[in-house]
Amino acid sequence: MGLIFRREHIDLVIAGVKTVTRRHHKRPRKAGRDYAIKSDWVTDTGHRIKIDKVYEQRLGDMTEEDAEKEGGYTLEEFKVVWEQIVGPWDPDEVVTVYVFHLVKEDSDPRDAGQSGGAHRGFCL
């Protein structure tokens, strides 16, 4: 199982610029596990991330620093990206936040985690 990202966000993850993603997940992924980076439901990019922390946050509580970790955006730029991918920006909407890092290729594949969960059709 993995996390789907847009191509431009995959590049930012690999470059170490994007270290956080916000999602609508009914069954959140788990901290401490590795997940494949996917560009769609079936295409695995060959890269993996390890989730370091999982928490919930209101979109309206995001800071400039939070937006920067989403891929080098300002908060206003991130709102535009959110609306393009997800839909209207609702500051009261609660999302799952994943803090992660790219797993180096020499990492032990036995650390890989499995997870299921709903995906609402967006990939930040």
**Predicted TM-score of the model (pTM):** 0.83
Mean pLDDT of 65-73: 97
Instruction: Please give the backbone phi and psi of residue 21, each rounded to the nearest 5 degrees, phi first.
Output: -140, 145
Residue pair 81/26 in contact (Cβ under 8 Å)? The answer is: no
**Domain segments of the chain: what residues?**
2-105
Backbone region of residue 46 per phi and psi (left: phi > 0; alpha: psi in -120 to 50; beta: other values): left
The verdict on domain 2-105 having CATH code 3.40.50.360 is no
28-41 per-position pLDDT tens digit = 999 999 999 999 99
Indicate if the pLDDT at residue 72 is higher than 60: yes
Q: What is the pLDDT of residues 74-102, one digit of tens each?
A: 999 999 999 999 999 999 999 999 999 99
Identify the burial level of 21 via C-beta atoms within 10 angstroms of its C-beta, where 0-12 means exposed, 13-18 middle and 19 or more buried: buried
Residue 10, number of CB atoms within 10 A of its CB: 18
